[in-house]
Each structure stands twice: as structure tokens, then as C-alpha cells.
Structure 1
Amino acid sequence: MITIHHLGVSQSDRVVWLMEELGLPYDLKWYHRKANRLMPEDYFALHPAATAPVIEDDGRVLTESAVVLEHICHTHANGRFTVSPDQPTYSDYLYWMHFNNNALGLYFAYLALGANPAGETAPLVKELLHRRWSGYYAMLEQTLGDHDHLAGDDFTCADMMVVYNFGNILASGGKTLADLPNTKAYFQRIGARPAYRKAMQIAGPEATPPE
């Protein structure tokens, strides 16, 4: 059985989501963040990279969301929720699978620099942040205007990868879902999925561990 080491308010909630979508059994181990919001020492000890998510599967310890999702789908679900190279939406699938790291990196830059960075390079930084966020919004709206999901009309791991960052993407770029009608409709479709709703109750940002 797969063990999910779940760090509260982290990207490991998407692994719970995947397991609920697949209907596979799993063991969930909760870890609380410290008062300063960083991960506790016992989570650091799970893997040298010290990042969430972390899973154990048949003696193997894995991290990195895209790796974990693909591993589970291919080793336990015959490739369900993935897209193969011979399918026409394969390049779209790859793009959105890796989009998460681009958006998260930009979000961390925003946190470090603030909405109004100071200094000699401030105008350049502000222009760069604005241009990147605007491009992300345009890409989301265009893609979701053409298809119901990010890698075509079918739900895939790419959707699980991107949804976690919706709040960061919107808040950092100064937009709301009301400004992005295609994205808003997409998020409503995702939010109606029973597995998503259950996963958020179990391990989402507002979830609390069982006693």
C-alpha cells in the first residue's frame, strides 16, 4: 500500500486527490508545520530533498509531484490520467505538468520582492512580473476556451498539478476568477468532482488531521 506523508497546507494534497480519483487504498500520515510555517524536522528526515510531497511505495521513497503522480498512474493504474506520446494532446500535457514549477517559482519571487519592489532594478522587476502573470492568464483562458481541461477534453494529472496553484496565481497577479471566465468555469468543474471534494476534506488547506 502507498503511504502518503502529508505536510499540512502543501502540494501533497494533490497526491491524496489522485488516490481518491483512482479509488486506490493508501495510508495517510500527517505532519504539522511549525509555528513559523516551515516543515518539522521529522519531515526533513523523509527524503534528502526535504520537499513535499513524499510517498513510500514498495520500499521506494519518492518526491516531486509530477514524478509521484506519473509513478502512481503508470505503476498502479495502467497509465490512467496520463497522456502518451502518440496522443495529439501530449505536448499540452507536458506543458501543464511542468507549468506548476514555473508559476510557483514566480510566486516565490513575488513573496521575496513584494508587490512593489524597491531599488534600481525595481521597474524591470515589476515589468517582468506583470508580463509573466499576464502571459499565464492569457494561456489559461485560451486553453480553457478550447477544451474542458488543460490537456484536452479529458481530465488528467496536468489538471491536478495546476489546480493547487490557482490561489497563488490569481492573488500574485492581481486577478480574480471573475476576470477569467473560462478559468472560472473550469475551476467550478474541478470543484464539483467528488474525488476532489473528498481529498480537500481529508488533506486540503482547511483540513485537520483525524484524532
Structure 2
Amino acid sequence: MITIHHLGVSQSDRVVWLMEELGLPYELKWYHRKANRLMPEAYFALHPAATSPVIEDDGRVLTESAVILEYICHTHAGGRFTVGPDQQNYADYLYWMHFNNNALGLFFASLALGSNPEGETAPLVKELLRRRWDGYYTMLEQTLGNTDYLAGDELTCADFMTMYDVVRIIPSGGKGLDDLPNTKAYAERIGARPAYRKAMEIAGPEAKPPA
């Protein structure tokens, strides 16, 4: 059985969502963040990369969301929710599978810059971030104006990867879902899925570990 090492308020909730969609059994182990919001030492000990999420499966320890999602789908679900090179939407699938890293990079850069940046390079960095955020908003709106899901008309791992960003990262760039009608409709479509709702109850940002 797959064990999901769940760090509270983290990207590991997307792995729980996948398992619920697939109907696969799993064990969820909770880890609380420290008072400074960083992960506890016990989580650092799980994997040398010291990042969340982390899963264990038959003695193998894996990290990185995109790796984990594809691994689970291919080894336990016959490739469900994945897209192969011979399919027409493969390039779209690849783009949105890796969008998460770009969005997180912008989020942390914006966080480091702060609301009142100083220094010689601050205006340039601020302009660069604004341009990148606007580009991502445009990509989301254009894509979701043409298809129900990011890689086409069906749910894929690209949606498991990107929904976290849509809800928690994208608003950091200055626009909320109310400013992005196609993206908002997408978030509502995903939010209505029973497996997604259950995953958020179990491991979402407002979830509490079982007593």
C-alpha cells in the first residue's frame, strides 16, 4: 500500500486527490509545520531532497509531485490520467505538468522581493515578475477558454498538478479568480468533483489530522 507523507498545507494534497480519483488504498501520515511554517525535522529525514510531497511504495521513497503522479498512474492504474507521445495533446500535457515549477518560482521570487523593494535591480525584477505573471494569466485564460481541462477535454495529471497553483499560487501575482473567468469556471468544475472535495477534507489547507 502506498504511504503518503503529508505535510500540512502543502502540495501533497494533490497526491491524496489522485488516490481518491483512482479509488486506490493508501495510508496518510501527517506532519505538522513548525511555528515558523517550515517543515519539521522528521520530514527532512524522509528524503535527501527534503521537499514535499513524499510517498513510499514497496520500499521505494519518491518525491516531486510530477514524478509521484505519473509513477502512481503507470504502476498502479494502467496509465490512467496520463498522456503519451503518440497522442495529439501530448505537448499540452507536458506544458501543464511542468507549469507548477514556474509558478512556484514566481511565487517565491515575489515573496523575496516584498511589497516595497529597494536596490538598483528592484525595478527590473519587479517588471520581469509582472510580465511573467501576466503571461501565466493569459495562458490559463486562453487554454481554459478552449477546453474544459488543461490538456484537453478530459481530466489528466496536468490538472492534478496545476489546480494547487490555481487556488494557492496564482493569486499571488495580483489577480484573483474573479479576474479570470475561464480559470474560475475551471476551479469550480474541479471543486465539484467528489474525489477532490474528499481530498481537501482529508488533506487540504483547512484539514485537520484525525484524532
State the TM-score, normalized to the length of structure 1.
0.98
Partners of 1:117 and 1:125 within 8 A in 2 = no
Aligned partners of 1:131 and 1:45: how far apart in 2? 38
Aligned partners of 2:95 and 2:175: how far apart in 1? 22
How far did 1:5 drift? Answer: 0.5
Partners of 2:13 and 2:200 within 8 A in 1 = yes
Matched residue, 2:178: 178
Distance 1:168 1:28, change over 3 A: closer
1:93-139 residue CA offsets vs partner (Å, 9 max, x unmatched): 00000000000011000111113321111211111011000000000
Is residue 56 of structure 2 the alignment partner of residue 56 of structure 1? yes
Is residue 29 of structure 2 the alignment partner of residue 19 of structure 1? no
The correspondence of residues 194-205 of structure 1 with structure 2, limited to 5 A, is: 194-205=194-205
Is residue 160 of structure 2 the alignment partner of residue 163 of structure 1? no
Aligned partners of 1:121 and 1:167: how far apart in 2? 30
- Structure 2: state its 5+ residue gaps: none
Aligned partners of 1:21 and 1:163: how far apart in 2? 14
Aligned partners of 1:21 and 1:30: how far apart in 2? 20
1:128-174 residue CA offsets vs partner (Å, 9 max, x unmatched): 01100000000000000110000001000100101111244433221
| SS of residue in 2 equivalent to 1:111 | helix
1:6-65 residue CA offsets vs partner (Å, 9 max, x unmatched): 000011110000000000000000000111111111111110001000000011000000
Aligned partners of 2:209 and 2:168: how far apart in 1? 24
Distance 1:196 1:65, change over 3 A: same
Which stretch of the first structure deviates more once superposed, 196-205 or 176-185? 176-185
Aligned partners of 2:137 and 2:116: how far apart in 1? 20
Aligned partners of 1:30 and 1:6: how far apart in 2? 5
Aligned partners of 1:143 and 1:115: how far apart in 2? 30
Partners of 1:116 and 1:126 within 8 A in 2 = no
| Amino acid aligned to 2:18 | L
| Amino acid aligned to 2:125 | V
Which stretch of the first structure deviates more once superposed, 106-115 or 22-31? 106-115
Aligned partners of 2:26 and 2:169: how far apart in 1? 30
Aligned partners of 2:122 and 2:86: how far apart in 1? 45
The correspondence of residues 31-46 of structure 1 with structure 2, limited to 5 A, is: 31-46=31-46
Aligned partners of 1:189 and 1:121: how far apart in 2? 41
| SS of residue in 1 equivalent to 2:33 | coil
Equivalenced residues, count: 211
| Amino acid aligned to 2:185 | A
| Amino acid aligned to 1:192 | A
State the TM-score, normalized to the length of structure 2.
0.98
Moved beyond 6 Å, runs of 4+: none
Partners of 2:107 and 2:173 within 8 A in 1 = no
Aligned partners of 1:149 and 1:138: how far apart in 2? 15
